[in-house]
Amino acid sequence: MKIKLTYTSKDEIPSGLETFYEERDGAWHLPVEGVKTQGDVDRAMAAMDKQKNLRIEAEKELAKYRDIDLDKWEKVKDLDPDKKYDGLDPKDEKEIQKRISEAVRDKEKEMQAQYRKREDELLAEKTGLEDKFKRTHLEQWRRNVLAEKFGFTNLDNLDTFILKIEHSDLPDFVEINRIMKSIEVSDDNGRFKVVGGELKDEKGALEVLESVAKREVAKNFRPAANNQGGGAGNRGEGAGTGNNPYKKETWNVTEQGRLERESPEDARRMAGAAGVTI
């Protein structure tokens, strides 16, 4: 008989199994610890069927040797199943049944240990996949923000910059790498988000990247037009010069920060016009 983990109504539950289900969220669920999917139920049912078959086989084996003297039990495998033994005491027969039951329980324990081992393997695999996703998500976010928000528009140069941060032993890059490691991916009830800085929030992560982008050593990896700095002639549209600090040719992190603090609407409008999301 095949049973399900969840039934939509009580009438669907096989007869005799109603007491094992509980009603929750408009359906009837089988509350078994460690069983979360229909696949778990199917595997459990298969294990139970295997256990049942094992007991049947054990009883058949007992029937073959029910007339054997108890003293010969340890040698039962060497006996002729067709030969009959007279005079077996009932208590000896019970002892044989007891030993077969013990063998069945040992087999059950072995199956349970195999199940727990597989469960642990699946949990480790799930954890590994989550860690891999977090690393990939963080690497992609970091690359996109450095390119779109902080002017590292030459992707070859950007890749070289990131590699130097991660592997160079020069003091400047070692320090940048230390700062960058404060950025991480956080799991907020199943929602992954990038956080960083002292407050461990999304704004803090952006501030970390901005501090990296402002470093002198970082200028060698950005286009020349983006290295002109903020002076009076490069204050952005907010200063009335007609320049957009989010455009590649007039990129200005200082002016971006000022606009985002003092005039968020203008900042979003100008960033959108330059194809940048803030």
Q: Which residues lie closer than 8 Å to 174 by C-beta, 6 or more apart?
A: 168
Residue 167's pLDDT is: 92
**Placement of tokens 């084996």 in the chain:** 61
Please tell me the predicted confidence (pLDDT) of residue 228: 41
pLDDT band at 78 (very low <50, low <70, confident <90, very high): very low
Furthest-apart CA atoms within the chain: distance in Å: 113
The angle subtended at Cα 77 by Cα 76 and Cα 81, nearest 5°, is 75
Percent of the chain with pLDDT over 70: 72
Q: CA end-to-end span of the chain, whole Å?
A: 58
Give the C-alpha separation, 206 to 209, whole Å.
5
Of the pLDDT bands very low, low, confident and very high (cuts 50, 70, 90), residue 90 is: low
Q: What is the pLDDT of residue 84?
A: 45
- What band does 83 get if pLDDT is binned at 50, 70 and 90? very low
pLDDT of residue 264: 84
CB 152 within 8 Å of CB 219: no
Report the 3 state secondary structure along the chain.
Answer: CCCCCEECCHHHCCCCCHHHCEEECCEEECCCCCCCCHHHHHHHHHHHHHHHHHHHHHHHHHHHCCCCCHHHHHHHHHCCCCCCCCCCCHHHHHHHHHHHHHHHHHHHHHHHHHHHHHHHHHHHHHHHHHHHHHHHHHHHHHHHHHHHCCCCCCHHHHHHHHHHHHHCCCHHHHHHHHHHCCCEEEEECCEEEEEECCCCEHHHHHHHHHHHHCCHHHHHHCCHHHHCCCCHHHCCHHHCCCCCCCCHHHCCHHHHHHHHHHCHHHHHHHHHHCCCCC
> Does pLDDT of 42 surpass 90?
no
| Residue 66 pLDDT level (bands cut at 50, 70, 90) | low
Q: Does the structure show a pLDDT above 90 at 129?
A: no
pLDDT bin (cut points 50, 70, 90) of residue 176 is very high
More confident residue, 63 or 198: 198
Question: 183 vs 26, 122, 201, 276, CA distance in Å?
Answer: 43, 28, 9, 22
pTM > 0.75: no
Average pLDDT, integer, range 40-50: 66
pLDDT digits (tens, 9 = 90+) for 137-149: 899 999 999 998 8
CB 213 within 8 A of CB 253: yes
32 compared with 215, residue with greater pLDDT: 215
* Residue ranges per structural domain of the chain: 1-31, 38-129, 149-227, 230-278
Is there a contact between 69 and 85 (Cβ–Cβ < 8 Å)?
A: yes
Whole-number pLDDT of residue 210:
92
As a whole number of angstroms, the distance between CA 215 and CA 175 comes to 11
Q: Is residue 19 predicted with pLDDT exceeding 50?
A: yes
- State pLDDT tens for residues 190-241: 678 898 887 788 889 999 999 999 999 898 888 754 444 433 333 334 333 4
Lowest pLDDT segment from 20-34, 67-81, 84-98, 259-273:
67-81
Q: How far apart are CA 48 and CA 54, in angstroms?
A: 10
